[in-house]
Amino acid sequence: RLVILDESSSSNCNDGGSLEENNDDLSLFIELMSPISSAQPDQMSASSLAYLGDVVFELFIRSRYVWPQRRMPVLQNTVVGLVNAEAQSKLLQQFVDNFTLTSAEQAVLARGRNASLTARKKGKGGESMYQDSTAFEALLGYTYINDKVRFTEMISWMKLELDKMDGLML
């Protein structure tokens, strides 16, 4: 289905558009921002899931910190500080300690940890940190494709954790 949007066809909750129009817009947005409907995450490599998970997590983080306005170097340092392997590994550990995972999600984490990636480094934190980071990204990629409601639950939990972290930094 090809959909072309122009200014006259867009609406949002603040311009008086109806709830039905806004839900249609949201549904269209979700459709446009999702992999093709034939995508089967159970048959995708852990690296491919992590590739997608990396993107959606970084978009979440960038969207979260872009406002209030910051100087670009400060914004970049904030984002990089949260989307790196060390931060993702720590967030994954908190996540699995506080969030009940299904057996399928646990299997995705295992696949992500065992993925063969050339980008892993043997610096601070070692290979285990990079395995955790890849597992974290693979899980996000998997749920993003497979279950938008579950993905939203996970991102919402992460938002609350980041809110706590941000409160400590103030």
Instruction: List residues with catalytic annotation.
Output: 54
Cα end-to-end span (Å), the chain: 47
What CA–CA distance (Å, rounded) separates 94 from 92? Answer: 5
Residue 112 contacts residue 135 (beta carbons within 8 Å)? yes
